[in-house]
Structure 1
């Protein structure tokens, strides 16, 4: 399945809302969100067989799943990216920010004279060459 034709790249929200799909193979919640790593829309699917089996009637299951869809759409409209759902969002920080955090921690751990020798001219030159803004 491809990206819907009614989606424009200039979309401010960078997502398509979640919807419930009842297929022969099972129920799924399907939505699209922009991947910040490669700036393309990616389709995400949440399988719902376990949730459907919990309920005695299809009506109750559909009601519960619709509440999940509404909550998911609220998160998406607030800027939530499912790419970072794994808890590793801090792995995507810029290198300059990480180096500043590293130096801040080193300043807390060591004495001022140690930091002065630790941050020698060679060390400073290296970080100026590597620093990515």
Structure 2
């Protein structure tokens, strides 16, 4: 393991390899290190529910991606390991409105060779807790064909 911060180029490379909804939402990978990942999003109207607050599905997606990344770190970002979500729970604790910047801060709590458990807090720019949760994930094989 390393305590050296991950370079912006590596964060961009890993972030680009997280395909699908992560890209569509406009998420940004802020931290990626052994046992920790932080994903951020500035909320736009498309991220909100009918009450004008952060949509629960967006909340779950941010937390799912951050938790999946925190348990699949590799030193070589071109050899990414993917995570398969086996179970996940999300608890909502406060609303977040448009133009808020939220961060999903995930850490790997324990695990073995094939599975790991992670927890995540979703925080706003004032470190107010928006949501929290846990998940169980399966580590996939190393893959080099990701973008």
Q: TM-score range by the shorter chain?
A: under 0.3
TM-score normalised to structure 2 length? 0.22
Larger helix percent? 1
TM-score normalised according to structure 1 size: 0.23
Structure possessing the higher radius of gyration over alpha carbons:
1
Q: Which has the higher strand share?
A: 2
